[in-house]
Amino acid sequence: MVFSEELIKKLKSAKTVSVLTGAGVSAESGVPTFRDPGGIWEKFRPEQLANFEAFMADPDFVWSWYQHRREIMRNVTPNQGHYALAEMEKIFPDFNLITQNIDNLHRRAGSRKVTELHGNIERNYCIKCRKDFNDIDLTQKKVLKCECGGLIRPDVVWFGEMLPYNALKFAEECARSCQVFFTIGTSAEVYPAALLPLIAKQYDAYVVEINTRPTAISMDVDEVIEGKSGEILKELTDIIKKELNK
Ligand code: BJW
Ligand code: ZN
C-alpha cells in the first residue's frame, strides 16, 4: 500500500492526532457491523432494537439480544488495527482515541486513553436506582431485576438518548484541536458522532477516512484510504515508526 506524501508529511510533524472508530474496526475480529449487508442486524435494524421503548416493550427479548452479542464480543480478540492504534498512542505526544464501539477491544489491545461515546456492553445498570451490575452471567437469558425492582439494562447509548456528556465534550475538543483526524470503520450515519470529522475539518485538521467503502462523509474529508482498517493501520503504523525512528 502506498500512502500519500501529504499524509506522511502531516503525521511526521503532528503532535495532536485524534481518531474516531466505528464497528468496521472490529469487523476483522469477527464482531458484526450494523449496516453492512449479511450481518446479524439485517433482521432487526439498530433503530428498532437499540432504543428504550423496545426494551420496555419486550425486556427479555432485548436483554437476550445483548447477552448474545456480549458472548460474541467476549469470545473474539483484538485485531492488528486495534493493536496499531494502541501503538500510535505511544508515538504521538497527544493521541486521543474516540470510539463508538461498545466491545472493549481497544482497551484489550492496550489503548489507555479511550473515550467511549456509546457506552460499554460489559457494564449494566438498574433503570430505577442506577446501581451498577457489571458481572453478568452469560447464561442468564431473561432480563435481571435489581433489589429495588427496577430492570437491569446494558450501559449503552440507545437512539434518542444523550451521549455521556463529558465523553462527548472531550471528543468535540479533540476534533477541534487536532492536526490530523482519522475516521475509521464508521458509516458516519449516526449523530452526533458523525459530526466529529466535520468539526475537525472545520478547524483545519487533515481528515483521513479509512473504510472498505465510501460513506456519508467521504466527499467531505481530505483523503480516503479504501480497504480493511486492520491491514491499513498496521502498515501505516510501521511506516510512521520508521519515519520517526520510534
Ligand atoms: C470496514 C471494515 C473493515 C466494514 N475495515 N472498514 C441529527 C440529525 C439526524 C438525526 C439525529 C441527529 N442527532 C441525533 C439524531 C438521532 C440519532 C441518529 O443519529 N439517527 C440517525 C440514524 C439519523 N442519534 C441519537 O439518537 C443519539 N443521541 C442523541 O443524539 O441524543 C440527543 C438527542 C436526543 C433525542 C432527540 C434528539 C437528540 C444516540 C445514538 C446512539 C447510537 N447507538 C448505537 C447502538 C449502541 C448499542 C448497541 O451496540 O447495541 O450505536 S446504533 C449503532 O450505530 C451503534 C454504533 O456505535 C453506531 C454507529 O455505527 P458504525 O460504527 O458507524 O457502524 P456501521 O455498521 O454503520 O458502519 C460500519 C462501517 O465499517 C461501514 O462503513 C463499513 O463499510 C465499514 N467496514 N468492515 C474498515 N474491515
Ligand atoms: Zn435498582
> Domains of the chain: which residue ranges?
1-30+78-118+163-246, 32-75+121-156
Q: From the CA of 130, which ligand is nearest? A: 2
pTM across the whole model: 0.97
Architecture of domain 32-75+121-156: 2-Layer Sandwich (3.30)
Give the fold, CATH level 3, of 1-30+78-118+163-246. Answer: Rossmann fold (3.40.50)
* Cα Rg, the chain, nearest whole Å: 18
| All three cell numbers of 101 | 464501539
Distance 65 CA to ligand 2 centre (A): 22
Q: Catalytic residue positions?
A: 118
Query: In the chain, count of helices (H) and strands (E)?
Result: 10, 8
Residues whose CB falls within 8 Å of the CB of residue 202, separated by 6 or more in sequence, listed in order: none
229 CB within 6 A, ligand 1: yes
pLDDT digit string (tens) for the chain, length 246 residues: 789 999 999 999 999 999 999 999 999 999 999 999 877 788 888 888 899 999 999 999 999 999 999 999 999 999 999 999 999 999 999 999 999 999 999 999 999 999 999 999 999 999 999 999 998 888 889 999 999 999 999 999 999 999 999 999 999 999 999 999 999 999 999 999 999 999 999 999 999 999 999 999 999 999 999 999 999 999 999 999 999 887
Give the residue among 157, 21, 136, 161 at the shortest CA–CA distance from 68: 136
Q: In angstroms, what is the span from residue 180 Cα to ligand 2's centroid?
A: 43
